[in-house]
């Protein structure tokens, strides 16, 4: 039986933690925090995405089921639902926006040979495992500019149906 790193810990090794720490420091994301750091919040939400968790309770139960492995996964202690809810509510959104921008820049460098494919697909990649297709008639961005990154949706101009935005 292999007793090395968990698969989740191996995936998290690809995260640019030094850059993330600089972003957190820039917005004082961990100021006054005693239990759930920004890094642990990110790990909890990444775990939720990767394991298809649907609620804070689901995240809490799934992580506590692996309580003996939490430290190896990057958590100092168990993640409580209320603490995660408070962190999701109170943390500066710019931390996550800057992190998303950083990861997109890195992905563009990795796929520089395929950028024309990405630009012509007119696909917006949301922070979830599935791509979101945007309508060309959306007024919140100019799709004629291939360098445009759209990281938001404008509810008055988007209608969700069958898992895609039209």
Q: What percent of the chain has pLDDT over 90?
A: 54
User: Token pair of 127, please?
Assistant: 């922070």
pLDDT tens profile 43-56: 999 999 999 999 99
Residues 13 and 88 in one domain: yes
Cα 67 to its chain centre, rounded Å, is 23
**Structural domain harbouring 122:** 114-165
Q: Where residue 158 falls among pLDDT bands split at 50, 70, 90? A: very low
Same domain, 90 and 121: no
pLDDT of residue 5: 86
d(CA 94, CA 149): 16
Residue 64: pLDDT band with limits 50, 70, 90: very high
Residue 108 inside a domain? The answer is no
Final residue belonging to a domain, choices 63, 94, 125: 94
């Amino acid at each position: 039986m292999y007793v090395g790193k968990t698969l989740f810990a191996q995936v998290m090794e690809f995260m640019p933690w030094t850059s993330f720490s600089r972003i957190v420091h820039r917005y004082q994301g961990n100021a006054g925090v005693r239990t759930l750091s920004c890094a642990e919040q990110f790990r909890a939400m990444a775990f939720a995405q990767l394991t298809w968790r649907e609620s804070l309770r689901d995240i809490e139960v799934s992580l506590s089921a692996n309580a003996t492995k939490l430290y190896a996964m990057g958590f100092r202690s168990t993640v409580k639902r209320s603490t995660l809810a408070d962190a999701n509510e109170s943390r500066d959104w710019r931390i996550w926006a800057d992190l998303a921008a950083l990861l997109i820049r890195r992905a563009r460098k990795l796929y520089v040979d395929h950028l024309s494919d990405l630009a012509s697909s007119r696909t917006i990649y949301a922070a979830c495992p599935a791509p979101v297709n945007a309508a060309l008639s959306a007024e919140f961005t100019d799709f004629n500019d291939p360098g445009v990154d759209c990281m938001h949706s404008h509810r008055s101009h988007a209608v969700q149906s069958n898992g895609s935005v039209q």
